[in-house]
Amino acid sequence: MPSSQSMSLLPVTKFSCIWPIQYFTSIPSDIEFICCPNFSPPNSKDKWFMKLRPKVLDEQSGIEYIGIHLFLRSCEDWTKQQIRARYIISVLDLDGDPRYTGECSRPEGRIFKAGTEGHGYRLLAPREVLLNPANNMLGAEDTIRILCEIIMFEEVEDIEKINAEKSLIEATQTLDIAN
């Protein structure tokens, strides 16, 4: 058993956004996508948004889905134009419980480049299920609610430096304990 322990904590920011879309059933079929208003993490001016594709056909099954993607519109720090983040996007039912959820497949997150590519799910939830009143997915005024949870990872310039500092701390603690 080690005589001491230490831990390196990498800075992260956790935040979320709920996007209610009223009159979901009235979105015209020729609309390719709609975007939510910008949202930001606490104490930051980074701007994020989601894009919903109301009708995406799964070629294999012939079933229509909704697709939702997350984008980074801009970074507060103009010298930093990308952010690494892990995310979960969910369609909530009337009780506020996630019924259809897509989660970032990489534990270390994905790189979001400001003003360009996004990440998400082309086929997140079947439209037929969302539109069926028996499934309790749409609220008053045919409102669907999308929840996006984000964990932003701060830049780590030199992970080996952090590990070296951790080893130095462990060595120092071991020496202190021995004296």
pLDDT tens column, 78-123: 777 899 999 999 999 999 999 999 999 988 889 999 998 899 999 9
CATH code for the structural domain at 12-178 = 2.60.210.10
Amino acid of residue 139: G
Please give the average per-residue pLDDT across 120-149, as a whole number.
96
**Helix (H) or strand (E) run with residue 163 in it:** helix 159-178
Q: What separation, in Å, do the N-terminal and C-terminal C-alpha atoms of the chain show?
A: 19
What gap in Å lies between CA 72 and CA 83, rounded to an integer?
Answer: 8
Q: For residue 136, is pLDDT > 80?
A: yes
What gap in Å lies between CA 176 and CA 76, rounded to an integer?
Answer: 43
**Helix (H) or strand (E) run with residue 129 in it:** helix 127-131
Query: What's the pTM value of the predicted model, to 2 decimals?
Result: 0.81
The model's confidence at residue 175, banded by pLDDT at 50, 70 and 90, is: very low
**Helix (H) or strand (E) run with residue 164 in it:** helix 159-178
**Helix (H) or strand (E) run with residue 173 in it:** helix 159-178
Q: For residue 169, is pLDDT > 50?
A: no
When the pLDDT of each residue in the chain is averaged and rounded to a whole number, the result is: 86
